[in-house]
Amino acid sequence: MSAEPRQTSAAELKQQIEAERGGRPFLVLRDGTGEQRILTIEEGATELWIGRGEAAGLRLDWDEEVSALHAQIEVVGGECTLLDDGLSRNGSFVNTERVHGRRRLRDGDTLRFGQTTVLFRRPGEAAPEATVVAGEVPTAAAISPGQRRVLLALCRPFKDGSNFATPPTNQAIAEELHLSVDAVKTHMRALFEKLQLEDLPQNRKRLALVEKALQSGVVAPRDL
């Protein structure tokens, strides 16, 4: 069974950014111990089996709700499609919707097999096409242009995946964007609400906002 969602560390964000720079589709998940795993779909691959058995390329052997061969990702012409034709007992889901047959995957889609959640990333896919984590993060279109400018400024120090990066202060963002500090605070409050972080302690909100924006695909490293 997968670990409960937890804050993504700077080192883990760096791993994701490095995977994105590779240009290939990849999967991000946490294993049974809660550690992040990244699996890249290599060039020339035509399929990737997902399941609990030894034959699976993505083996989820910690999740008892996953079948031995649960589902398959097909790769055709650079497009990835999730295939679940009834092999699994508990089904496969994309953004909370159960898959019956085939479902084309888009950058930022959230897949679920048993109790394990997997983030699908496809670097280079157009941002309007991206689907972010269902039920947790709004699409980029739901964020106003002003809020997005503030969010990009907040995330910019993490562009190179530095383990020592820290989010800028409201004052620093205001100076960069030529806004008042009050305007930045207003945008930040809206972002905390839209990304469902308003209940976090104040000293954790800013880093959590960066992590969620980057992990979900609302902000991609290329935007920074």
Last residue of a domain, one of 129, 149, 180: 129
Confidence label for 58 from pLDDT (cuts 50, 70 and 90)? very high
By residue range, what is the domain housing residue 210? 140-223
Is 112 in the same domain as 155? no
Considering the domain architecture, whether residues 151 and 217 belong to the same structural domain is answered as: yes
Do residue 95 and residue 197 come from a single domain? Answer: no
5 falls within a domain: no
Number of domains in the chain: 2
| 37 shares its domain with 108 | yes
**Sheet with 36-40, edge to edge strand ranges:** 36-40, 26-30, 116-121, 110-113, 92-94, 97-98
| Domain-located, residue 135 | no
- Pick from 46-50, 99-103, 206-210 the range whose average pLDDT is largest: 46-50
The residues near 102 (Cβ < 8 Å, ≥ 6 apart) are 74, 81, 82, 83
Q: Is the same domain home to 165 and 110?
A: no
Position 173 in a domain: yes
List, as own/partner pairs, every contact residues 164-167 make where C-beta atoms lie below 8 angstroms and the sequence separation is at least 24, other chains included: 164/10, 165/10, 166/207, 167/206, 167/207, 167/209, 167/210
Under the banding of pLDDT at 50, 70 and 90, the label for residue 83 is very high
User: Confidence band (pLDDT; 50, 70, 90) for 138?
Assistant: low
pLDDT of residue 130: 38
Of 129, 152, 179, the residue that ends a domain is 129
Residue of 51 and 164 predicted with greater confidence: 51
Residue 136 has pLDDT above 80, yes or no: no
Q: Is 157 found in the same domain as 118?
A: no
Measured between alpha carbons, how far is 68 from 60 in angstroms, rounded to an integer?
9
Q: Which of 167, 123, 125, 177 is nearest to 147 (CA)?
A: 177
CATH number at residue 164: 1.10.10
pLDDT, residue 163, reads 60
